[in-house]
A = this chain, B = another copy of it.
């Protein structure tokens, strides 16, 4: 009924519980004979050590938290896979939670992580306060490049570079009237993208893209079509804050019979798998999502295991442009 414990094994193997514990932890100072006897007993009885008890004593539960906004956004499963792969290799389990872009949920989840005494946490923060994040009291790695969180380790993609690549591509194709959809108004990642736009356009401030705000979702992009069509002169290209927005926009444009890239070029950011399948296939800026997850997990576990005492560092992964069908040179007929 009750699962076996270390004493049962000790008795069955005719040794003390300390010796069993040493074997479980792979320590020395155990005679080959005792070790063999213990190991075979464990196998025979199918004993699985209780990590809850061990966690209580060691203050290490071999589990990290991963808090993301929304696992159904295809950007995040890739991050998750990267995190899990490394966590797994290094002996950690991953507790996954979705904040649903809500501040309250984010703070609740961090409090939960604290109660669960997780060894560390990787979070893609949306609104959460520094105070709440500090209260966690263990190592934290932030996903994203937001200055507000600079006191924590972070891994993100180079937003400035992504936006720069996308805009340069559109400029090279002759696009001057551009609409930018950097994300929802008032969110940090939106501001990052806007800032990147200004930086990229320093040389020609007269040709700044128009800005329109929308959610980071398919329907956000879909709804933005109306805004696009109300502008005069009508933009010939759209720079979308992520691929989901771009895909929503493609759907909206198709519905209205506007051809892409014939009448309007569309470029996304992220390079989710969908981007290579939608119609037309999407020109976008590739982010190394899997690698970002792996890096985050490695940074976190290095901290947890004390391999790093240095000040917090931010790793910016580099990005590259993937040219597909959704962009083309600005045409003569555009109306």
Contact = CB atoms under 8 A, between A and B. Distances in A.
Interface of A: 3, 46, 48-53, 55-56, 61, 63, 71-72, 74, 76-78, 80-81, 84, 88, 93-98, 111-112, 114-117, 135, 137, 218, 247, 250-251, 273-274, 277-280
A81 B98 contact: yes
How many copies make up the complex? 2
Contacts of A251: 277
A301 B238 CA distance: 47
Nearest to A88: B97
B71 A71 contact: yes
Given A56-B53, A98-B81, A251-B277, A114 B71 contact: no
A252 to B, nearest CB: 12
A277 B279 CA distance: 8
A116 B48 CA distance: 9
Contacts of A52: 52, 55-56, 61, 116-117
A218 B277 contact: yes
Contact of A278 (B72, B116, B277): B277
A263 to B, nearest CB: 17
Contacts of A273: 72, 218
Nearest to A280: B279
A280 B279 CA distance: 8
Contact of A279 (B51, B63, B279): B279
B98 A96 contact: no
A231 B3 CA distance: 57
A53 B98 CA distance: 25
Contacts of A137: 3
Given A53-B56, A97-B94, A115 B77 contact: no
Nearest to A72: B77
